[in-house]
Every structure is written in C-alpha cells, then in structure tokens.
Amino acid sequence: MDRAPIHVFISKVDKNKYLSLTPESLLDKDGKWFVELFYKHISSLLSRDIRGENVLVKPNLLKAKAPECVTSGLAIVAAVISLREVGARVTVGDSPAFGHARQVVGSLGIGPILKRLGVETISLDSPVKVSLPCGAKIAVSKHALDRDVIVNLPRLKAHCQTGMTGAVKNLYGTVPGFRKGLYHVKYGKELSLFSRMIIEIGQLLPETISVLDAINCMHETGPTVGKPIFLGVVASSTSTHALDTAMYHAIGAEPDMVPIWKEARKLGLKGTSINELTFPWLEPKDITEAKKFKIPRKLDPVAFNPVRFLLGRVKSVARRIGIMS
C-alpha cells in the first residue's frame, strides 16, 4: 500500500478582517485577500489543468436561517470565484436536511452573487442505486457521480451523533434528500456499519479535493445548536481522511471520540494517522485556539426512531403542498 506522506495545507485568517467581510465584498478589493486565500488552497491541491471541466462545489447547506457557524456563504463564494479563475465550469450543490439548496443559499445572502457569476445552485437529487462493500444498499446523487471534480467544502463542527463532522462526513450530503434519514433508520443501529457506509460513499465519488472552513466553528454540541468558537483556520488536502486527522490532532481528539475516524483507522485507510501527514504551511500545533474546542463526550444514537422519521416525512410533504404552515 502506498504510504507516501499526504500534504495538508493550513493557513490562518485574521479575526477582525474576517468579521468585516460580506458576500458582496468578495467581488471587490475589500474581500480580495479572502478569495486569494481560497485560490491558494485550491490551486495547491489540483494535480492538473481543469479548464472546462465540470466541478461541483459541495458545501454544508444544512438548512435555511441557520447560525453563521453552521453554513458558510463566504467560503462558497470564495471557492466559486477561485474555480472560475482556473477556468472550471462550476455548480454549487448539496442535499440539505431541510428544504432545497437554493433556499439555503438564499438565506445566506449569496444567491444573487452566484447568479451574477453565472453559477447554478442545485439540490443533489436524481438518485443512483449503488451497493457498497460494507453491504449497505444506498443511493447517491447522479449530479455528484457525473462531475469531473468535486470540491468538498465542509464546515468544522461538533456533532451530537458522530463527535465531529468534517471532510469525510460532509460527503454524506451527496445522498439525496430523505434517504439520508432513511439510512439512519436502516443502518444506524450498528455504529461501525454506519460509519463505514459514510466512508465508502466518499470512495465512490470522482476526484475530490477538500477545503475545510474551520474559521468560525461550532463546538460543544451540534450540528445545529452548539456554541461558536473562532479558530480562524482554512485547511485543505486531497485526502478527506488526512484533513480530518489533522484537525482531530489539533483539537486533541482521540479516535474513540469520533466513530468515523475510529472506523477508518480500523480499516487501515491512508491519512488516518498523523505520522502519514506533512504540513507545507502551518502545522496543527499552530492552531492555538483548537485545544479549547469541546467535543460531545456522550454521543446520541445514530439510529433514528422509525415512527418519528415517518412522521417527519409526512410533515415535510404537508409543508410542500401547503397543508401545514
């Protein structure tokens, strides 16, 4: 097995400069530094010229009107502009837990900007059935499978079921719509199986590079109601596992705290040990605030209650057709 070191690129963001940014400022000189930062990360990860290729920017669009530390409109815009600079054909897409991707993008105030840039926002629907090596039978969005490159744009957060969510977990959003919840019901009773399913989804996808927004993060709990913590970091890698491992190491996490990491290490996947990583820019120890990041010590069950899941689906359909306000 190839054990050549994997690069993880880490850079810091000034808090005052970041807090003064608006989505509109990324289109002019005031936000140029932030766009240039993302361009530096993305161009460092690309192994070839992707001019004219179809690229999916896959952020974490959990739901509309979420706290700023849940979904990051600034990172989306910066990534889109950076990819257009290298001549890629860009689409922004995700499968939010609630609503359509365009609704979430609209709530972030970046819909008009993406439209001005000529970039479409899509929900990752159009399911394609696949059988994973772990035995799970699932569906993944055709929109993700058919792209030339995926730019995975996770937000670092604590998570009440998986300890933390980062680059590996963010790719679960390529599963269309309600199916994400359905697989919690179907496969969530066995945490090892559910974790492996998420890992293997990432292995199905086209070439993926990941740029992690670990600037204004959510910790203590999550993925929606934790507390903000400013780490001021953008980190990236061609390996989702390496990127997450670097952040786990910075925070002081152990594999037992993060089931997906624990399972990936059990499978012997490359990038799951800090000794396999190299840091051309900053190192995890340079993320001075990271040790203050708190991970849930007791995790909620991954499995959803089937009755509650069905009731939730009924309410969702009712809202769509106007029965419920």
Q: What is the CATH number of the domain that holds 38?
A: 3.40.50.11440
Closest CA to 17 of 42, 36, 45: 36
Residue 205 lies in a domain: yes
Which pLDDT score, from 0 to 100, does residue 167 have?
Answer: 98
Residue 47 lies in a domain: yes
What are 91's two structure tokens?
Answer: 């689409």
Which pLDDT score, from 0 to 100, does residue 3 have?
Answer: 63
State how far the Cα of 15 lies from the Cα of 13, in Å rounded to an integer: 6
* Measured CA angle at 221 (ends 297, 290), to 5 deg: 80
Residue 196 lies in a domain: yes
Taking the CA atoms of the chain, what radius of gyration do you get in angstroms? 19
**pTM for the full predicted model:** 0.94
Which pLDDT score, from 0 to 100, does residue 68 have?
Answer: 80
**C-alpha distances in Å from residue 113, one per residue of 60, 236, 324:** 18, 24, 32
Which pLDDT score, from 0 to 100, does residue 324 have?
Answer: 44
According to DSSP, the β-strands at 277-278 and 6-7 are: parallel
State how far the Cα of 152 lies from the Cα of 302, in Å rounded to an integer: 23
Which pLDDT score, from 0 to 100, does residue 305 have?
Answer: 61
**3-state SS class at 297:** coil
Task: List Cβ neighbours of 16 (8 Å cut-off, separation of 6 or more).
Answer: none
Give backbone dihedrals phi and psi of 195, rounded to 5 degrees, phi first.
-65, -45
Which pLDDT score, from 0 to 100, does residue 239 have?
Answer: 98
pLDDT tens for the chain, 325 residues long, are 566 889 999 999 999 999 999 999 999 999 999 999 999 999 999 999 999 999 999 999 988 887 788 888 999 999 999 999 999 999 999 999 778 999 999 999 999 999 999 999 999 999 999 999 999 999 999 999 999 999 999 999 999 999 999 999 999 999 999 999 999 999 999 999 999 999 999 999 999 999 999 999 999 998 888 899 999 999 999 999 999 999 999 999 999 999 999 999 999 999 999 999 999 999 999 999 999 999 998 999 999 665 454 545 444 443 444 444 4
Residue 1 lies in a domain: no
Residue 183 lies in a domain: yes
Residue 125 lies in a domain: yes
Residue 225 lies in a domain: yes
| Count of domains forming the chain | 1
First to last CA, the chain: 55
Residue 130 lies in a domain: yes
Read off the amino acid at residue 204.
Answer: L
Segments forming the whole domain that contains residue 275 = 6-321
Sort 26 into a burial class: Cβ within 10 Å, 0-12 / 13-18 / 19+: buried
According to DSSP, the β-strands at 54-59 and 89-94 are: parallel
